[in-house]
Amino acid sequence: MGFLWNTFIGKIILTVLVSMVPIIELRGALPIATGAGLEWYIALPVALIGNIIPVPFIIIFIKKIFAWMSKQKGFLAKIVIKMEEKAFSKKDTIEKYGPWGLWIFVAIPLPGTGAWTGALIAAMMGISLKKSFPAIATGVLTAGIIVAFVSYGAAALLF
């Protein structure tokens, strides 16, 4: 993986790939991009794109994937139960605030509150891609700005 650090394109690819990983997402990709030497104005859009790419696929396919996993015995079925419990634990907030609730959930840059979990919640609650995607995407943008301020420093972003 060291070769990815040696070229500009490699750093871009690494940032995109890391931002696509569940739990790590953009919150981990931006500090890695900082360490790789990418400027914030390059790293932020690249990480945003990488973090948003999985969202439509999760919303469209996760119920089918979970249905298959639930039929398996043991570990896979237990994962589905935990993931569904996580999604439904946020149901009241999302129902109360609608897309704003989904946006707030995704925008807070804490572990377990990113685009993957937001898309999972939307899918489990039956919120359409058309309604959920803008809320999740703007939540990712908000989280990205917050993480960029932390990773690069406010002075670097403003001047």
The reported pLDDT for the residue numbered 93 is 84
Nearest Cα to 45, choosing from 24, 7, 19?
A: 19
The reported pLDDT for the residue numbered 3 is 66
153: left (phi over 0), alpha (psi -120 to 50) or beta: left
DSSP state of 74: T
Whole-model pTM above 0.75? yes
38-68 tens-digit pLDDT: 999 999 999 999 999 999 999 999 999 999 9
Cβ pair 136, 119 in contact under 8 A? yes
The reported pLDDT for the residue numbered 89 is 86
86-118 tens-digit pLDDT: 888 888 888 889 889 999 999 999 888 899 999
CB atoms within 10 A of CB 112: 11
